[in-house]
Amino acid sequence: MSSLFPVIAKKMFFSLLCLSVVLCRIYTADGNSMREAKIFPPSPEIERGSTLKLFCTLGKHLIPRGNASHIIWKLNHDLIPQEYYTIINESTSGVTIHNFTYESAHVRCFTKMLHLGDEQLQIHINVKSGFSPEKPKNISCIYYYDINITCSWISGRETHLNTTYTLVRKHYDDGIQQWINRDSCQSNNGSCAFFFPDIPYARYCFQVTAKNALSNSTTECVPMEMLEIEKLEAPDIISVEKIAGIKQLLNITWKNPMVAPERRLCCLIQYRKMHSNDSGNVTDCTNRTETIKSYNLMGLQDFTEYAIAIQCKGALAKFWSEWSEERIGRTEEKAPSRKVDLWRVIESSQSSGNRYVHLMWKLLEEFPSSESIHGYKIWYIPENNASPAGPTHNTTDKKFTLLLPGEAYVLSVIAYNSAGESPEATLRIPTIGEITSTHIDSVWTFTLRKKMIVTWEASSVNEYVIEWYKEWDTEPFNRSWQYVSNTTNWTSQEGAFESFICYNISVYPLFENKIGAPYSVQAYFQEKPPTVGPETKADNPGKNEAIIKWNEIDKIHKNGFIRNYTIFYKSEGGKELNKTVNRNVLQYKLSSLEANTQYTAYVNAANSAGGKNGNTVTFKTSKFNKEDLLYIFISLGLCMLFLLLLGIICTLKKQTLKRVCWPDVPNPAESIVVGSEDVFMCNSLLKQGQSEDGTVGSENISVLEPGMPHENQTELLLIKHENYESDHTDTCAKDVPNDHKKELCNKEHEVVKSFSPSLPYIVTEQDFRSQMLSAVKPNRKIYPVEKLEEDFSKPQFSPVQNSSSKDNENEDGECTDIKEAATFNPYLKNSVNTREFIVPENLPDRNKNESRTQSTAPFQKNTAGQSYVTLDMFGLTIAH
């Protein structure tokens, strides 16, 4: 228990300390008389920009917990530095604030205890700054009769402080010859009033004093006469009437304001035409002998409405009363004295032989406004009096439409009221198709000082009608016109023409009672760039050209005369180009464009004030134009035609083309080898029919077509042989006996007949001779293939053979000069140089054996696996 006591005591001590601090804050924050701190001065108001000094004194109960050194100052929420503090004594601290420019600011006094660690507000005040009041100026007073005296003045600059103004009224005492204060009134603004009934007619002076916390200022006493500052009530108008039989006069009756009976009153009467700014004033001054006053207002216009108002004042007073309420009166009516200004617009009708005549009229500028108009009468009569007069029409409007036949008429219009009618205005309507001369050579327009000026040249005419209307306005009654005479130029009134609108202006000549043909022009009073640009589109883009089309801008959006159009165009990434055309062109063909390229284009419409771009269009040129496509189609057509003709020719000449372009290649499998020892002996005879390169010339080859008659084939071969014999001398003929020659000739026929007529043959001269010689030599030998190959593999045959063999000697003795070298054919090199037997694997065994045995058999077909020889090597006949 003894160990817990110090802890409990310490906690109780801190609790009591905290409670005392809270109570202290409540006590010091209270602004009542129980406050422990004081500040001086309590509510200061100082001159703007001056130095402020304040003092804060702590109460006796605060001294034990702190002193003046613990005081801190704040201006609004900002801490004032301690160098501006002054310690007066143990409980008082002062602060100095230089150049105080705040209109209103809070200064607070705090104490800061080190052991508590926070600030405690002791007291605060609101400090205001401002200026001293200036002396009031221009004191003026008005005496509202039997109500009050109100005075006003100019206070001067704003003081920003609470300032009071005291108005003092003094009257002059003739006995002591000085001003004596009578009464006063106060206010916080620039006016003050003394109320009735203490307002006797006397001589007064008025003085104003301005005062605030800084200083005060008083004016001099300004003397005023009550009769001069008097202001009466507004009079009350009783009636405004016209007097029967008397024109241009109105009788006005009113009630005078209340004033002393001996007073002289002056009243001002104002009269103003209704719906007009024209006004006039008249003053009537009389002694105030009666309450009701009457006055005759003369010199007015006939049958014209007037607004009447009256104000009054005393004869010596400077101030007029307020205006009375206006009353309306109308003068006596008068018949119209001048004719109307008449014009017409003729419009053709859908019914044949008729036309619409739109009549319109207006009162002339010099027409008296007092002449009231109740209505108008319109009628028409034929010019030649051949037809009866038309009916009379009445209207209150200033326009009327008639449907008239095609002949000439004279129209009449009059204005009327209750007093009478105006003079008659007439106008001639020509017949349909009537041709009249214009008498006007040219017309010009220009603007000057916000007016339109029209000038023209004419001959033999002194009167004209100028007509103008908006170009897009088709309403006939919206047209304006004006008659002019003895001049060739006309100036409009200001505001007669609107800016940025196109007007049709026509000048009509007037001669006798007819209206001549007009001369018309278009004009703008003022121009500006078009509101919208032309609507553009690209049409028919080709390979190197494209057509750009655009619509004409609406009349209401042109804002001026279109001078030209400019087409701007460019390719992707290219330079922008342009072409300019006149205003009558609405399409343009762009040329020299790149093929297969995308372009953008737009059109600018320009007038004298500027231009406006239209919408942008995009188009792409094509790869080919029509000519290119035509050439391509023609070329394709020609190619197809050529191929068609070639196909027909190939079909008709199939066999011929096959023999020329694709000759038959000998098939060793279907060849028959016919050989004898005489063949090699007669090679020299065949050499003469060969070319230098060892081949047989085409002239020595005969082709026998299949199906040719046997006799024809024989005849052909004999003819070829005879021709050959006639051209060439056989070197062996001299060694052949005559009987052998005969036998040889007989053998020729046999050889020819040995060919089958059902198959085509290629017979060379070598074959023919070989067959011939074979026929002469009865003792033929069939050489095996190995022998032929061995002989062929030799480089060449020697012209002189060795005589080691008897058989060779006999043969060489008979024909030693016909032996020749065998030419190697590359086509058959594999077949000749090798003895390879090619036997298909799928061939039956029987066929394989036959192929081996047939390799040396004479006059048999070549078979698979057998070496072979052909015609071009040995001059053998090959049958297909």
DSSP 632-686: HHHHHHHHHHHHHHHHHHHHHTHHHHHHHHSPPPP-GGG-B----HHHHHTHHHH
The torsion region of residue 865 among left (phi > 0), alpha (psi -120 to 50) and beta comes to left
DSSP 518-583: -EEEEEESS----SSPPPEEEE---SS-EEEEEPPPPHHHH-S---EEEEEEEETTS--EEEEEET
586 and 499 within one domain:
no
Least confident of 110-114, 452-456, 477-481: 110-114
Q: What's the chain's length in residues?
A: 880
DSSP 8-state assignment for residue 226: T
Residue 839 lies in a domain: no
Percent of the chain with pLDDT over 90: 34
254 and 389 within one domain:
no
Q: What is the pLDDT of residue 20?
A: 34
How far apart, in whole angstroms, are the C-alpha atoms of residue 710 and residue 377? Answer: 131
504 and 454 within one domain:
yes
Contact between 93 and 112 under an 8 Å Cβ cutoff? The reply is no
Q: Give Cα 32 to chain centroid, integer Å.
A: 78
Rounded mean pLDDT of the chain?
Answer: 75
Contact between 453 and 446 under an 8 Å Cβ cutoff? The reply is yes
Q: Which of 276-280, 612-616, 706-710 has the highest mean pLDDT?
A: 612-616
Q: Which of 122-126, 436-440, 455-459, 655-659 has the highest mean pLDDT?
A: 455-459
pLDDT bucket at 388, cuts 50 / 70 / 90: low
Q: What is the pLDDT of residue 763?
A: 45
556 and 502 within one domain:
no
615 and 506 within one domain:
no
Q: What is the pLDDT of residue 368?
A: 54
Domain boundary among 586, 606, 627: 627
182 and 47 within one domain:
no
Q: What is the mean pLDDT of residues 446-456?
A: 92
pLDDT bucket at 179, cuts 50 / 70 / 90: confident
Residue 23 in this model has a pLDDT that exceeds 70: no
Nearest alpha-carbon partner for 157 in 177, 131, 139, 178? 131
122 and 92 within one domain:
yes
Domain that holds residue 576: 536-627
Would you tell me how many other CB atoms lie within 10 Å of the CB of residue 274?
12
Residue 386 in this model has a pLDDT that exceeds 80: no
The identity of residue 773, as a single letter, is L
How far apart, in whole angstroms, are the C-alpha atoms of residue 609 and residue 309? Answer: 53
| pLDDT, tens digit, 9 for 90 and up, residues 584-594 | 999 999 998 99
Q: Say whether the peptide bond before residue 197 is cis (omega within 30 degrees of 0).
A: yes
Q: What is the pLDDT of residue 261?
A: 61
For CA atoms 381, 382, 385, 389, the dihedral sign is negative
Would you tell me how many other CB atoms lie within 10 Å of the CB of residue 857?
15
Percent of the chain with pLDDT over 70: 67
Q: What is the mean pLDDT of residues 80-91?
A: 89
What is the phi/psi pair of residue 125, to 5°?
Answer: -135, 160
How far apart, in whole angstroms, are the C-alpha atoms of residue 642 and residue 543? Answer: 30
Q: Which pair of structure tokens corresponds to residue 250? A: 């109105």
Residue 482 lies in a domain: yes
263 and 183 within one domain:
no
421 and 476 within one domain:
yes
Half-sphere exposure at residue 205, Cβ-oriented, CA atoms within 13 angstroms: 13
430 and 308 within one domain:
no
What is the phi/psi pair of residue 146, to 5°?
Answer: 60, 25
Q: Which of 359-368, 557-566, 768-777 has the highest mean pLDDT?
A: 557-566
Strand partners of residue 346: 357
Residue 27 in this model has a pLDDT that exceeds 70: no
Residue 879 lies in a domain: no
| pLDDT, tens digit, 9 for 90 and up, residues 572-608 | 888 999 999 999 999 999 998 998 899 999 999 999 9
The domain total for the chain is 5
518 and 483 within one domain:
yes
Residue 234 in this model has a pLDDT that exceeds 50: yes
Residue 801 lies in a domain: no
Residue 852 lies in a domain: no
How far apart, in whole angstroms, are the C-alpha atoms of residue 376 and residue 398? Answer: 8
Q: Say whether the peptide bond before residue 41 is cis (omega within 30 degrees of 0).
A: yes
Contact between 66 and 119 under an 8 Å Cβ cutoff? The reply is no
470 and 364 within one domain:
yes
Domain boundary among 330, 353, 375: 330
Nearest alpha-carbon partner for 772 in 720, 813, 727? 720
How far apart, in whole angstroms, are the C-alpha atoms of residue 839 and residue 841? Answer: 6
Q: Which pair of structure tokens corresponds to residue 292? A: 């009701």
Domain boundary among 225, 241, 260: 225
Residue 658 lies in a domain: no
Which pTM does this prediction carry? 0.46
Q: What is the mean pLDDT of residues 372-383?
A: 89
Q: What is the pLDDT of residue 198?
A: 62
Burial class (CB in 10 A: 0-12, 13-18, 19+), 818: buried
How far apart, in whole angstroms, are the C-alpha atoms of residue 868 and residue 784? Answer: 11
How far apart, in whole angstroms, are the C-alpha atoms of residue 7 and residue 391? Answer: 130
| pLDDT, tens digit, 9 for 90 and up, residues 796-838 | 433 333 333 334 444 344 434 433 444 444 444 444 444 444 4
Q: What is the pLDDT of residue 63?
A: 62
The radius of gyration of the chain's CA atoms, rounded to the nearest angstrom, is 71
Q: Helices 626-652 & 654-661, crossing angle to 10 degrees? A: 90
pLDDT, greater one: 170 or 806:
170
Q: Helices 710-727 & 738-753, crossing angle to 10 degrees? A: 140
DSSP 8-state assignment for residue 83: G
| pLDDT, tens digit, 9 for 90 and up, residues 313-347 | 888 889 999 999 999 988 877 778 888 999 999 99
Strand partners of residue 380: 411
Residue 791 lies in a domain: no
Label residues 753-792 b or e (16+ Cβ within 10 Å = b): eebebeebbbbbbbbbbbbbbbbebeebeebebeebbeeb
Q: Give Cα 438 to chain centroid, integer Å.
A: 46
- Tell me the CATH number at 621: 2.60.40.10
What is the phi/psi pair of residue 207, to 5°?
Answer: -135, 140
Residue 64 in this model has a pLDDT that exceeds 70: no
Q: What is the pLDDT of residue 629?
A: 80
Nearest alpha-carbon partner for 876 in 664, 662, 660, 686? 686
Q: What is the mean pLDDT of residues 17-39?
A: 40
Residue 529 lies in a domain: no
pLDDT, greater one: 127 or 368:
127
